[in-house]
Structure 1
Protein backbone atom coordinates (compact mmCIF):
# COMPACT_ATOMS: atom_id res chain seq x y z
CA UNK A 1 0.00 0.00 0.00
CA UNK A 2 2.79 2.37 0.96
CA UNK A 3 4.60 1.55 -2.30
CA UNK A 4 1.44 2.39 -4.25
CA UNK A 5 1.16 5.75 -2.50
CA UNK A 6 4.80 6.52 -3.32
CA UNK A 7 4.24 5.65 -6.98
CA UNK A 8 1.20 7.94 -7.21
CA UNK A 9 3.15 10.70 -5.47
CA UNK A 10 5.94 10.36 -8.04
CA UNK A 11 3.41 10.65 -10.87
CA UNK A 12 1.87 13.73 -9.27
CA UNK A 13 5.26 15.35 -8.93
CA UNK A 14 6.24 14.50 -12.51
CA UNK A 15 3.03 16.11 -13.75
CA UNK A 16 3.70 19.15 -11.56
CA UNK A 17 7.07 19.49 -13.33
CA UNK A 18 5.44 19.34 -16.77
CA UNK A 19 2.88 21.95 -15.70
CA UNK A 20 5.72 24.34 -14.87
CA UNK A 21 6.09 24.83 -18.63
CA UNK A 22 2.62 26.31 -19.14
CA UNK A 23 4.05 29.83 -18.84
CA UNK A 24 7.66 29.29 -19.93
CA UNK A 25 9.37 27.54 -22.82
CA UNK A 26 12.69 26.98 -21.00
CA UNK A 27 13.37 26.44 -17.31
CA UNK A 28 16.42 25.58 -15.23
CA UNK A 29 16.34 22.89 -12.56
CA UNK A 30 16.29 25.65 -9.94
CA UNK A 31 13.32 27.32 -11.66
CA UNK A 32 11.43 24.03 -11.71
CA UNK A 33 12.29 23.31 -8.07
CA UNK A 34 10.87 26.68 -7.02
CA UNK A 35 7.77 26.53 -9.24
CA UNK A 36 6.89 22.94 -8.31
CA UNK A 37 7.84 23.33 -4.65
CA UNK A 38 10.11 20.28 -4.81
CA UNK A 39 13.62 19.58 -3.58
CA UNK A 40 16.29 19.75 -6.29
CA UNK A 41 17.26 16.11 -5.82
CA UNK A 42 13.65 15.07 -6.45
CA UNK A 43 13.40 17.33 -9.50
CA UNK A 44 16.67 15.94 -10.86
CA UNK A 45 15.50 12.34 -10.48
CA UNK A 46 12.14 12.99 -12.12
CA UNK A 47 13.65 15.03 -14.97
CA UNK A 48 15.92 12.10 -15.81
CA UNK A 49 12.87 9.86 -16.17
CA UNK A 50 10.92 12.46 -18.17
CA UNK A 51 13.93 13.06 -20.43
CA UNK A 52 14.40 9.32 -20.98
CA UNK A 53 10.78 9.04 -22.12
CA UNK A 54 11.03 12.12 -24.35
CA UNK A 55 8.69 14.40 -22.39
CA UNK A 56 11.41 16.95 -21.67
CA UNK A 57 14.62 17.86 -23.46
CA UNK A 58 17.75 19.28 -21.90
CA UNK A 59 19.46 21.82 -24.11
CA UNK A 60 22.97 20.54 -24.78
CA UNK A 61 25.54 21.56 -22.19
CA UNK A 62 23.16 23.78 -20.20
CA UNK A 63 20.88 23.48 -17.19
CA UNK A 64 17.85 24.51 -19.26
CA UNK A 65 14.95 22.16 -19.99
CA UNK A 66 12.04 22.43 -22.42
CA UNK A 67 9.13 20.21 -23.36
CA UNK A 68 9.99 17.20 -25.50
CA UNK A 69 8.32 15.99 -28.65
CA UNK A 70 6.42 13.17 -26.95
CA UNK A 71 4.03 16.01 -26.09
CA UNK A 72 3.51 16.59 -29.83
CA UNK A 73 2.91 12.89 -30.41
CA UNK A 74 0.23 12.85 -27.72
CA UNK A 75 -1.30 16.06 -29.04
CA UNK A 76 -1.75 14.41 -32.45
CA UNK A 77 -4.65 12.53 -30.83
CA UNK A 78 -6.39 15.79 -29.83
CA UNK A 79 -8.63 17.95 -31.96
CA UNK A 80 -8.90 21.68 -31.34
CA UNK A 81 -6.86 21.80 -28.16
CA UNK A 82 -3.44 20.77 -29.47
CA UNK A 83 -0.97 23.56 -30.12
CA UNK A 84 -0.33 22.68 -33.76
CA UNK A 85 -3.96 23.51 -34.51
CA UNK A 86 -2.95 27.18 -34.17
CA UNK A 87 -1.01 26.81 -37.41
CA UNK A 88 -3.64 24.69 -39.16
CA UNK A 89 -5.60 27.52 -40.87
CA UNK A 90 -2.46 28.83 -42.60
CA UNK A 91 -1.55 25.29 -43.67
CA UNK A 92 -5.02 24.79 -45.11
CA UNK A 93 -4.82 28.09 -46.94
CA UNK A 94 -1.47 27.07 -48.42
CA UNK A 95 -2.85 23.66 -49.43
CA UNK A 96 -5.74 25.34 -51.24
CA UNK A 97 -3.35 27.72 -53.02
CA UNK A 98 -0.73 25.12 -54.01
CA UNK A 99 -2.92 22.02 -54.30
CA UNK A 100 -0.43 19.66 -52.62
CA UNK A 101 0.00 18.09 -49.17
CA UNK A 102 1.40 20.41 -46.49
CA UNK A 103 3.33 19.05 -43.49
CA UNK A 104 4.95 20.41 -40.36
CA UNK A 105 7.94 18.59 -38.83
CA UNK A 106 10.04 18.98 -35.70
CA UNK A 107 13.33 17.31 -34.80
CA UNK A 108 13.51 14.84 -31.93
CA UNK A 109 17.09 13.73 -31.44
CA UNK A 110 18.14 11.92 -34.60
CA UNK A 111 14.62 11.70 -36.03
CA UNK A 112 11.91 14.03 -37.24
CA UNK A 113 8.23 13.85 -36.32
CA UNK A 114 5.29 15.04 -38.41
CA UNK A 115 3.20 17.03 -35.94
CA UNK A 116 0.62 18.41 -38.38
CA UNK A 117 -0.45 17.71 -41.95
CA UNK A 118 -3.08 18.90 -44.42
CA UNK A 119 -3.73 16.43 -47.21
CA UNK A 120 -4.01 17.40 -50.86
CA UNK A 121 -7.49 17.20 -52.35
CA UNK A 122 -6.21 15.86 -55.65
CA UNK A 123 -7.02 12.27 -56.62
CA UNK A 124 -3.32 11.41 -56.94
CA UNK A 125 -1.65 12.74 -53.82
CA UNK A 126 0.89 12.04 -51.12
CA UNK A 127 -0.75 11.10 -47.79
CA UNK A 128 1.16 12.27 -44.72
CA UNK A 129 0.12 10.62 -41.40
CA UNK A 130 0.51 12.76 -38.29
CA UNK A 131 2.88 11.39 -35.67
CA UNK A 132 5.11 9.53 -38.13
CA UNK A 133 8.80 9.34 -37.22
CA UNK A 134 11.35 9.54 -40.03
CA UNK A 135 15.17 9.53 -40.26
CA UNK A 136 17.08 12.80 -40.50
CA UNK A 137 19.33 11.90 -43.41
CA UNK A 138 16.78 11.87 -46.26
CA UNK A 139 13.98 14.20 -47.33
CA UNK A 140 13.62 17.95 -47.68
CA UNK A 141 12.39 18.54 -44.11
CA UNK A 142 15.17 16.40 -42.65
CA UNK A 143 17.74 18.52 -44.44
CA UNK A 144 16.11 21.74 -43.19
CA UNK A 145 16.08 20.53 -39.59
CA UNK A 146 19.74 19.54 -39.82
CA UNK A 147 20.89 22.58 -41.80
CA UNK A 148 19.60 24.93 -39.10
CA UNK A 149 20.57 22.76 -36.12
CA UNK A 150 23.56 23.50 -33.90
CA UNK A 151 26.93 22.18 -35.05
CA UNK A 152 26.90 19.76 -32.12
CA UNK A 153 23.50 18.32 -33.05
CA UNK A 154 24.45 18.13 -36.71
CA UNK A 155 27.63 16.19 -35.97
CA UNK A 156 25.73 13.78 -33.73
CA UNK A 157 23.54 12.80 -36.70
CA UNK A 158 26.29 12.79 -39.32
CA UNK A 159 28.51 10.54 -37.22
CA UNK A 160 25.79 8.25 -35.92
CA UNK A 161 26.54 4.54 -36.26
CA UNK A 162 23.35 4.12 -38.32
CA UNK A 163 24.42 6.64 -40.97
CA UNK A 164 23.88 4.96 -44.39
CA UNK A 165 27.17 3.71 -45.85
CA UNK A 166 26.13 4.81 -49.35
CA UNK A 167 25.89 8.49 -48.34
CA UNK A 168 29.02 10.64 -48.35
CA UNK A 169 29.10 12.81 -45.24
CA UNK A 170 31.19 15.58 -46.80
CA UNK A 171 28.87 15.94 -49.80
CA UNK A 172 25.85 15.96 -47.47
CA UNK A 173 27.40 18.67 -45.28
CA UNK A 174 28.05 20.79 -48.37
CA UNK A 175 24.40 20.33 -49.33
CA UNK A 176 23.35 21.58 -45.89
CA UNK A 177 25.46 24.71 -46.31
CA UNK A 178 23.82 25.39 -49.69
CA UNK A 179 20.41 25.00 -48.08
CA UNK A 180 21.29 27.60 -45.43
CA UNK A 181 22.31 30.02 -48.17
CA UNK A 182 19.22 29.55 -50.35
CA UNK A 183 16.74 29.16 -47.50
CA UNK A 184 14.97 26.02 -48.72
CA UNK A 185 15.58 22.32 -49.40
CA UNK A 186 14.26 19.95 -52.05
CA UNK A 187 14.13 16.20 -52.46
CA UNK A 188 13.08 13.98 -55.34
CA UNK A 189 12.48 10.29 -54.65
CA UNK A 190 14.95 10.30 -51.75
CA UNK A 191 12.66 8.43 -49.39
CA UNK A 192 9.72 7.33 -51.51
CA UNK A 193 9.63 6.36 -55.18
CA UNK A 194 7.62 8.87 -57.20
CA UNK A 195 7.47 11.48 -54.41
CA UNK A 196 9.06 14.93 -54.17
CA UNK A 197 9.09 17.69 -51.56
CA UNK A 198 10.28 21.22 -50.88
CA UNK A 199 10.72 22.54 -47.32
CA UNK A 200 11.66 25.76 -45.53
CA UNK A 201 12.58 26.60 -41.93
CA UNK A 202 9.94 28.02 -39.63
CA UNK A 203 11.40 30.36 -37.00
CA UNK A 204 9.58 31.62 -33.91
CA UNK A 205 9.45 35.25 -32.80
CA UNK A 206 12.88 34.88 -31.16
CA UNK A 207 14.32 33.71 -34.48
CA UNK A 208 14.84 30.18 -33.20
CA UNK A 209 14.11 27.22 -35.45
CA UNK A 210 10.71 25.84 -34.45
CA UNK A 211 9.89 23.45 -37.28
CA UNK A 212 10.17 22.63 -40.96
CA UNK A 213 7.24 23.45 -43.24
CA UNK A 214 6.97 21.39 -46.41
CA UNK A 215 5.00 20.80 -49.59
CA UNK A 216 5.01 17.25 -50.92
CA UNK A 217 3.40 15.42 -53.82
CA UNK A 218 4.01 13.31 -56.91
CA UNK A 219 7.37 13.99 -58.55
CA UNK A 220 5.75 14.41 -61.97
CA UNK A 221 3.88 17.47 -60.60
CA UNK A 222 6.56 18.76 -58.25
CA UNK A 223 9.34 19.28 -60.75
CA UNK A 224 12.46 21.15 -59.67
CA UNK A 225 11.27 24.34 -61.38
CA UNK A 226 7.87 24.05 -59.71
CA UNK A 227 9.45 23.47 -56.29
CA UNK A 228 11.64 26.55 -56.65
CA UNK A 229 8.49 28.51 -57.46
CA UNK A 230 6.65 27.04 -54.47
CA UNK A 231 9.61 27.80 -52.17
CA UNK A 232 8.91 31.54 -52.31
CA UNK A 233 5.27 31.03 -51.30
CA UNK A 234 6.34 28.56 -48.62
CA UNK A 235 8.82 31.03 -47.13
CA UNK A 236 6.17 33.74 -46.90
CA UNK A 237 3.76 31.36 -45.18
CA UNK A 238 6.50 30.27 -42.76
CA UNK A 239 7.11 33.92 -41.82
CA UNK A 240 3.41 34.40 -41.03
CA UNK A 241 3.26 31.18 -39.04
CA UNK A 242 6.43 32.07 -37.14
CA UNK A 243 4.77 35.22 -35.82
CA UNK A 244 2.06 33.01 -34.34
CA UNK A 245 4.54 30.99 -32.26
CA UNK A 246 5.46 32.34 -28.85
CA UNK A 247 9.19 32.57 -28.23
Structure 2
Protein backbone atom coordinates (compact mmCIF):
# COMPACT_ATOMS: atom_id res chain seq x y z
CA UNK A 1 0.00 0.00 0.00
CA UNK A 2 1.40 3.41 -0.96
CA UNK A 3 1.77 5.76 2.03
CA UNK A 4 0.45 9.31 2.13
CA UNK A 5 4.04 10.59 2.21
CA UNK A 6 4.94 8.67 -0.94
CA UNK A 7 1.76 9.83 -2.66
CA UNK A 8 2.55 13.44 -1.75
CA UNK A 9 6.10 13.09 -3.05
CA UNK A 10 4.93 11.66 -6.38
CA UNK A 11 2.37 14.45 -6.75
CA UNK A 12 5.08 17.05 -6.09
CA UNK A 13 7.30 15.52 -8.76
CA UNK A 14 4.42 15.53 -11.23
CA UNK A 15 3.72 19.19 -10.54
CA UNK A 16 7.39 20.12 -10.88
CA UNK A 17 7.65 18.26 -14.19
CA UNK A 18 4.51 20.01 -15.45
CA UNK A 19 6.11 23.40 -14.72
CA UNK A 20 9.37 22.38 -16.41
CA UNK A 21 7.43 21.17 -19.47
CA UNK A 22 5.48 24.44 -19.69
CA UNK A 23 8.66 26.49 -19.49
CA UNK A 24 10.14 24.37 -22.26
CA UNK A 25 7.11 25.08 -24.44
CA UNK A 26 6.74 28.80 -23.74
CA UNK A 27 10.38 29.88 -23.16
CA UNK A 28 9.45 32.26 -20.32
CA UNK A 29 6.46 32.46 -17.96
CA UNK A 30 5.50 34.44 -14.88
CA UNK A 31 3.86 33.21 -11.69
CA UNK A 32 0.39 34.34 -12.80
CA UNK A 33 0.73 32.53 -16.13
CA UNK A 34 1.94 29.32 -14.51
CA UNK A 35 -0.88 29.49 -11.97
CA UNK A 36 -3.38 29.72 -14.86
CA UNK A 37 -1.77 27.04 -17.03
CA UNK A 38 -1.28 24.46 -14.27
CA UNK A 39 -4.53 25.11 -12.43
CA UNK A 40 -2.59 25.03 -9.16
CA UNK A 41 -2.85 27.54 -6.33
CA UNK A 42 -0.37 30.41 -6.56
CA UNK A 43 1.17 29.44 -3.22
CA UNK A 44 1.79 25.92 -4.52
CA UNK A 45 3.29 27.15 -7.79
CA UNK A 46 5.45 29.62 -5.88
CA UNK A 47 6.84 26.85 -3.65
CA UNK A 48 7.55 24.63 -6.64
CA UNK A 49 9.32 27.45 -8.47
CA UNK A 50 11.45 28.25 -5.43
CA UNK A 51 12.49 24.60 -5.13
CA UNK A 52 13.29 24.31 -8.85
CA UNK A 53 15.28 27.54 -8.67
CA UNK A 54 17.24 26.39 -5.62
CA UNK A 55 18.03 23.11 -7.38
CA UNK A 56 19.29 24.95 -10.46
CA UNK A 57 16.59 23.82 -12.90
CA UNK A 58 15.18 27.27 -13.65
CA UNK A 59 16.36 30.88 -13.79
CA UNK A 60 14.32 33.98 -12.93
CA UNK A 61 15.02 37.02 -15.10
CA UNK A 62 16.25 40.20 -13.44
CA UNK A 63 14.40 42.55 -15.77
CA UNK A 64 11.03 40.85 -16.24
CA UNK A 65 10.97 38.49 -13.19
CA UNK A 66 9.76 35.66 -15.44
CA UNK A 67 10.98 32.09 -15.16
CA UNK A 68 13.03 30.21 -17.78
CA UNK A 69 14.75 26.86 -17.96
CA UNK A 70 18.35 27.11 -16.78
CA UNK A 71 21.33 26.26 -18.97
CA UNK A 72 21.58 22.79 -17.43
CA UNK A 73 17.97 22.09 -18.50
CA UNK A 74 18.43 23.12 -22.15
CA UNK A 75 19.32 20.46 -24.70
CA UNK A 76 20.11 20.52 -28.40
CA UNK A 77 20.94 24.19 -28.98
CA UNK A 78 24.48 24.81 -27.75
CA UNK A 79 24.40 28.52 -28.63
CA UNK A 80 21.21 29.10 -26.64
CA UNK A 81 22.63 27.10 -23.74
CA UNK A 82 25.81 29.18 -23.73
CA UNK A 83 23.84 32.45 -23.67
CA UNK A 84 21.70 31.21 -20.80
CA UNK A 85 24.81 30.11 -18.93
CA UNK A 86 26.35 33.54 -19.47
CA UNK A 87 23.22 35.22 -18.05
CA UNK A 88 23.14 32.96 -15.00
CA UNK A 89 26.82 33.50 -14.26
CA UNK A 90 26.62 37.26 -14.75
CA UNK A 91 23.30 37.96 -12.97
CA UNK A 92 24.68 38.30 -9.40
CA UNK A 93 27.44 40.61 -10.68
CA UNK A 94 24.94 42.73 -12.61
CA UNK A 95 22.78 43.15 -9.51
CA UNK A 96 25.75 44.13 -7.38
CA UNK A 97 27.06 46.60 -9.96
CA UNK A 98 23.63 48.17 -10.35
CA UNK A 99 23.21 48.53 -6.58
CA UNK A 100 26.67 50.05 -6.09
CA UNK A 101 26.42 52.55 -8.95
CA UNK A 102 22.71 53.34 -8.86
CA UNK A 103 22.67 52.86 -12.66
CA UNK A 104 21.13 50.32 -15.02
CA UNK A 105 23.45 47.45 -15.97
CA UNK A 106 22.97 45.63 -19.30
CA UNK A 107 24.51 42.37 -20.48
CA UNK A 108 24.85 41.54 -24.18
CA UNK A 109 26.15 38.61 -26.19
CA UNK A 110 28.05 38.90 -29.47
CA UNK A 111 28.21 35.90 -31.81
CA UNK A 112 30.46 37.52 -34.40
CA UNK A 113 27.50 38.91 -36.32
CA UNK A 114 24.83 40.34 -34.02
CA UNK A 115 24.68 41.92 -30.59
CA UNK A 116 21.76 40.74 -28.44
CA UNK A 117 20.72 42.17 -25.07
CA UNK A 118 20.49 39.22 -22.68
CA UNK A 119 19.72 40.80 -19.31
CA UNK A 120 19.20 44.11 -17.56
CA UNK A 121 19.31 45.04 -13.87
CA UNK A 122 17.57 48.25 -12.79
CA UNK A 123 18.41 49.74 -9.37
CA UNK A 124 15.58 50.54 -6.98
CA UNK A 125 16.12 54.30 -7.34
CA UNK A 126 15.39 54.15 -11.09
CA UNK A 127 12.59 51.57 -11.33
CA UNK A 128 9.80 54.13 -11.58
CA UNK A 129 11.53 55.68 -14.59
CA UNK A 130 12.01 52.34 -16.37
CA UNK A 131 8.56 50.73 -16.69
CA UNK A 132 9.42 49.10 -20.05
CA UNK A 133 13.10 48.28 -19.55
CA UNK A 134 12.41 44.53 -19.71
CA UNK A 135 11.29 44.96 -23.33
CA UNK A 136 14.89 45.73 -24.30
CA UNK A 137 15.98 42.21 -23.35
CA UNK A 138 16.05 40.04 -26.47
CA UNK A 139 16.50 43.02 -28.79
CA UNK A 140 19.46 43.39 -31.14
CA UNK A 141 21.46 46.54 -30.44
CA UNK A 142 23.41 48.55 -33.00
CA UNK A 143 27.08 47.61 -33.19
CA UNK A 144 28.07 51.07 -34.36
CA UNK A 145 25.88 53.27 -32.15
CA UNK A 146 25.26 51.46 -28.86
CA UNK A 147 27.88 51.56 -26.09
CA UNK A 148 27.78 47.75 -25.92
CA UNK A 149 28.40 47.45 -29.65
CA UNK A 150 31.24 49.95 -29.67
CA UNK A 151 32.88 48.13 -26.75
CA UNK A 152 32.91 44.94 -28.83
CA UNK A 153 34.20 46.72 -31.94
CA UNK A 154 37.08 48.21 -29.96
CA UNK A 155 38.28 44.69 -29.10
CA UNK A 156 37.97 43.28 -32.65
CA UNK A 157 40.58 43.22 -35.41
CA UNK A 158 40.26 46.06 -37.91
CA UNK A 159 39.42 43.77 -40.86
CA UNK A 160 36.58 42.23 -38.85
CA UNK A 161 35.20 45.68 -38.08
CA UNK A 162 35.38 46.55 -41.78
CA UNK A 163 33.45 43.39 -42.67
CA UNK A 164 30.70 44.20 -40.18
CA UNK A 165 30.55 47.81 -41.35
CA UNK A 166 30.08 46.76 -44.98
CA UNK A 167 27.34 44.34 -43.99
CA UNK A 168 25.55 47.04 -41.98
CA UNK A 169 26.19 49.60 -44.74
CA UNK A 170 27.77 51.95 -42.23
CA UNK A 171 29.33 55.08 -43.78
CA UNK A 172 33.12 55.22 -43.68
CA UNK A 173 33.19 58.19 -41.31
CA UNK A 174 30.85 56.48 -38.81
CA UNK A 175 32.81 53.22 -38.78
CA UNK A 176 36.14 54.99 -38.25
CA UNK A 177 34.70 57.13 -35.49
CA UNK A 178 33.20 54.14 -33.67
CA UNK A 179 36.48 52.21 -33.60
CA UNK A 180 38.87 55.06 -32.93
CA UNK A 181 36.65 56.43 -30.16
CA UNK A 182 36.51 53.08 -28.36
CA UNK A 183 40.24 52.44 -28.67
CA UNK A 184 41.13 55.97 -27.58
CA UNK A 185 38.75 56.09 -24.61
CA UNK A 186 39.23 52.47 -23.56
CA UNK A 187 35.46 51.88 -23.43
CA UNK A 188 32.40 52.05 -25.66
CA UNK A 189 30.32 55.21 -25.48
CA UNK A 190 26.79 55.47 -26.83
CA UNK A 191 26.21 57.78 -29.79
CA UNK A 192 24.36 60.84 -28.46
CA UNK A 193 20.84 61.26 -29.81
CA UNK A 194 20.70 57.84 -31.51
CA UNK A 195 18.28 55.20 -30.20
CA UNK A 196 19.39 51.71 -31.12
CA UNK A 197 16.35 49.63 -30.13
CA UNK A 198 12.82 49.29 -31.58
CA UNK A 199 11.46 50.12 -28.10
CA UNK A 200 12.01 53.72 -27.01
CA UNK A 201 12.32 55.00 -23.47
CA UNK A 202 10.41 58.21 -22.61
CA UNK A 203 13.70 60.01 -22.00
CA UNK A 204 17.20 60.22 -23.49
CA UNK A 205 19.97 58.09 -22.04
CA UNK A 206 23.75 57.88 -21.94
CA UNK A 207 25.80 54.68 -21.69
CA UNK A 208 29.33 53.32 -21.37
CA UNK A 209 30.42 49.70 -21.82
CA UNK A 210 33.39 47.33 -21.73
CA UNK A 211 33.82 44.09 -23.72
CA UNK A 212 33.48 40.56 -22.34
CA UNK A 213 35.99 38.02 -23.59
CA UNK A 214 36.50 34.27 -23.25
CA UNK A 215 39.47 32.33 -24.61
CA UNK A 216 40.63 35.37 -26.54
CA UNK A 217 37.25 35.89 -28.25
CA UNK A 218 34.81 38.75 -27.78
CA UNK A 219 31.56 37.18 -26.53
CA UNK A 220 29.63 40.30 -25.53
CA UNK A 221 29.79 43.32 -23.27
CA UNK A 222 28.42 44.86 -20.09
CA UNK A 223 27.14 48.43 -20.04
CA UNK A 224 26.11 51.05 -17.54
CA UNK A 225 23.32 53.31 -18.76
CA UNK A 226 21.34 56.09 -17.13
CA UNK A 227 18.88 58.94 -17.89
CA UNK A 228 20.83 61.74 -19.56
CA UNK A 229 19.68 64.32 -17.00
CA UNK A 230 21.40 62.45 -14.13
CA UNK A 231 25.05 62.81 -15.14
CA UNK A 232 27.48 63.37 -17.98
CA UNK A 233 29.69 60.57 -19.31
CA UNK A 234 32.82 62.00 -17.69
CA UNK A 235 31.22 61.88 -14.24
CA UNK A 236 30.16 58.25 -14.62
CA UNK A 237 33.54 57.31 -16.07
CA UNK A 238 35.40 58.84 -13.11
CA UNK A 239 33.08 57.36 -10.49
CA UNK A 240 32.13 53.96 -11.82
CA UNK A 241 34.27 52.74 -14.73
CA UNK A 242 36.61 50.91 -12.36
CA UNK A 243 33.60 49.09 -10.88
CA UNK A 244 32.48 48.10 -14.36
CA UNK A 245 36.00 46.81 -15.09
CA UNK A 246 35.96 44.77 -11.85
CA UNK A 247 32.60 43.28 -12.82
CA UNK A 248 33.89 42.34 -16.28
CA UNK A 249 36.90 40.64 -14.70
CA UNK A 250 34.73 38.68 -12.26
CA UNK A 251 32.29 37.50 -14.94
CA UNK A 252 35.17 36.39 -17.16
CA UNK A 253 36.59 34.36 -14.28
CA UNK A 254 33.19 32.79 -13.59
CA UNK A 255 32.65 31.68 -17.19
CA UNK A 256 36.23 30.51 -17.77
Same fold (TM over 0.5): yes
Q: 2:89 is matched with which residue: 86, 93, 103?
A: 86
Q: Aligned ranges for residues 1-247 of structure 1 at < 5 Å? A: 67-68=78-79, 70-71=80-81, 75=84, 82-121=85-124, 122=126, 123-125=128-130, 127-128=133-134, 129-160=136-167, 162-163=168-169, 168-187=171-190, 188-191=192-195, 194-204=204-214, 206-229=215-238, 230-246=240-256
> Which 5+ residue runs of structure 2 have no aligned equivalent?
1-75
Q: 1:201-244 CA distances to partner (integer Å, 9 max, x unpaired)?
A: 1233x443232110112111141222322222211221122111
Q: Tell me how far 1:130 sits from its aligned partner.
A: 2.4
Calculate the TM-score normalised by the size of structure 1: 0.59
Q: Distance in 2 between matches of 1:197 and 1:189?
A: 12
Aligned CA RMSD, in angstroms, stands at 2.6
Q: Tell me how far 1:97 sits from its aligned partner.
A: 0.5
Q: Distance in 1 between matches of 2:150 and 2:250?
A: 22
The size of the alignment, in residue pairs, is: 169
> Which 5+ residue runs of structure 1 have no aligned equivalent?
1-54, 57-66, 76-81
Partner of residue 73, structure 2? none
Q: Distance in 1 between matches of 2:180 and 2:255?
A: 26
Q: 1:118-168 CA distances to partner (integer Å, 9 max, x unpaired)?
A: 1232222471532222232211011111221233431122112x425xxx4
Q: 1:54-92 CA distances to partner (integer Å, 9 max, x unpaired)?
A: x98xxxxxxxxxx53x4466x4xxxxxx44211111111
Of structures 1 and 2, the larger Rg is shown by 2
Q: Distance in 2 between matches of 1:235 and 1:201?
A: 9
